[in-house]
Amino acid sequence: MSSNTPPNPTIFFKPGIETKFRIDFEHWQANDPSWKSTFQSYLCETHQQSLNEEQQSLMIDSVNPETGEVTQVDQMWDILVSHCAQQDDFILENATLTDSVFRALIRNANEPLSAEELSQIISKPAEVILKTISGPRVYRGIRPVRE
Ligand SMILES: [Zn+2]
């Protein structure tokens, strides 16, 4: 044990307006037992109907053949990002702020976005967005990316 041990970043990390956020799926899945049905509800109407339950569960358990990594949301995620999230009505004006942030991140294929960038997408003040998504309660796995 060295006395030069740096402080625990999870305690001292404070996100700013330029801090990027992304959806941490592991965190979401670990903390929300109904994440799967919530996730499915973001599919557009056509895809909700075209994917029956069996197909959805097959897709959800996809395994990356190269790394062997089980990426549970891979296939449905592809459909969601490439089609459903690109629909005009995916980001609704009257949605809650957290839901809008979640949708904006999906539309961006979960490439991290800062409060500043999110502000331009969902037309809400960046300070309000930052305060909401950096609070103690993690909403659907939305967490800051530490670089
Ligand atoms: Zn769709």
User: What's the pLDDT score for residue 72?
Assistant: 52
Residue 133 CA, ligand 1 centroid: distance in Å: 27
Residue 84 CA, ligand 1 centroid: distance in Å: 4
Residue 47 CA, ligand 1 centroid: distance in Å: 5
Q: How confident is the model at residue 50 (pLDDT cuts 50, 70, 90)?
A: confident
Asked whether the beta carbons of 48 and 84 are under 8 A apart, the reply is no
CA-derived radius of gyration, the chain: 17
User: pTM of the prediction?
Assistant: 0.79
Residue 21 CA, ligand 1 centroid: distance in Å: 24
Residue 67 CA, ligand 1 centroid: distance in Å: 28
The Cα 80–Cα 87 span in angstroms is: 10
Mean pLDDT of the chain: 83
pLDDT digits (tens, 9 = 90+) for 52-73: 665 655 555 555 667 776 555 5
Q: Where are the domains of the chain?
A: 16-144
Residue 130 CA, ligand 1 centroid: distance in Å: 29
Residue 39 CA, ligand 1 centroid: distance in Å: 13
Residue 147 CA, ligand 1 centroid: distance in Å: 33
pLDDT digits (tens, 9 = 90+) for 87-97: 999 998 888 99
Q: Return contacts of 56-60, CB within 8 angstroms, 24+ apart.
A: 60/36
pLDDT digits (tens, 9 = 90+) for 12-40: 678 999 999 999 988 998 999 888 888 88
More confident residue, 129 or 52: 129
